[in-house]
Amino acid sequence: MEKIKVSAVSYTNTKPFIYGIQHSPVLEQIDLSLDIPSDCASKLIEKQVDIGLIPVAAIPFVPNAQIISSFCIGSIGAVDSVFIFSDVPVEKIKTLKLDPQSRTSNNLAKVLLKNHFKVAVDFTTDQSATTDAMVLIGDRTFGRKGDFNYAYDMGEEWMKFTGLPFMYAAWVANKPLPEAFLKEFDAALANGIQNIPAVITQLPANSGIDIANYLQYKLNFNLTPEKLKAKELFLKLITEL
Ligand SMILES: C=C(O[C@@H]1C=C(C(=O)O)C=C[C@H]1O)C(=O)O
């Protein structure tokens, strides 16, 4: 049987899922690649893969998108790896550099700056530009908070704005897949989430962040009705930008 191609995020936040997949017979049925989130999205959109752990902001661009798992990358309040880092207080931000690896958090920054902080900001993707502030996500944020005058955790700010948790990335397929496979795949992910303490022991200590606290208490992997509600609201607010 031809293998099912899967693109998952290459950051620490996805290690529990990778652990689950690697400890499951489902591993034999898939061809797994680890990519930055923006590439997970483009691979799924361009049909280079069948399943992607993709930024929720990219879901509307995937033909026949179907969320296929009861797990996601989410947080209930502060996440500790999705930031607006700024030299000035948020109300003084005039220019902001987006993160080329992100799709969700770039849009989340735009949504929060407009609707929550109520500031008009010019955005750039030019990484050599000098700006007041920047979006940064994933492992590259570890240990960076102290490098900036202000660090706004976007999971925390979204919670203040909406009272909701947030879903950054979801497991999405671009075509119908066998029920039995999907069941086994979700069981593998569940097993990874249940074994986060074992995942932690396999990871190198990172001086910039408490990895155990990050994986166990900051990230929240359950795709709950509240997170789906947040996704719907977020996607609607993006269309109004
Ligand atoms: C919590 C995170 O969630 C992520 C943020 C994403 C985005 O902004 O597009 C996509 C996938 C996730 O890795 C993170 O990367 O720190």
Residue 232 clears pLDDT 80, i.e. is over it: yes
Residue 161 clears pLDDT 80, i.e. is over it: yes
Cβ of 71 closer than 6 Å to ligand 1, yes or no, is no
- Domain end among 128, 162, 196: 162
**Farthest CA pair distance, the chain:** 57
Residue 1 clears pLDDT 80, i.e. is over it: no
| Bridge partner residues of 33 (DSSP) | 7
Q: What percent of the chain has pLDDT over 90?
A: 97
Q: What pLDDT sits at residue 22?
A: 97
Predicted structure pTM score:
0.98
Domain count of the fold of the chain: 2
ipTM: 0.98
Question: Which domain does 58 fall in, by range?
Answer: 4-74+166-223
Centre of ligand 1 to C-alpha 10, Å, is 10
- Looking at the fold, whether 103 and 157 belong to one and the same domain comes out as yes
Which atom of ligand 1 sits closest to the CA of residue 75?
1
- Looking at the fold, whether 151 and 191 belong to one and the same domain comes out as no
- Looking at the fold, whether 89 and 120 belong to one and the same domain comes out as yes
- Looking at the fold, whether 34 and 89 belong to one and the same domain comes out as no
- Looking at the fold, whether 148 and 183 belong to one and the same domain comes out as no
Residue 170 clears pLDDT 80, i.e. is over it: yes
- Looking at the fold, whether 86 and 158 belong to one and the same domain comes out as yes
Nearest to 138 by CA among 214, 228, 201: 214
Residue 147 clears pLDDT 80, i.e. is over it: yes
Q: What pLDDT sits at residue 205?
A: 82
Mean pLDDT, the chain, whole residue set? 97
Query: Looking at the domain assignment, is residue 88 inside a domain?
Result: yes
Pseudo-torsion of CA 59, 52, 171, 196, nearest 10°? -140
Query: In testing the pocket of ligand 1, which one of 79, 102, 145 has its CB within 8 Å of the most ligand atoms?
Result: 102
Which atom of ligand 1 sits closest to the CA of residue 14?
13
| CATH number of the domain residue 119 falls in | 3.40.190.10
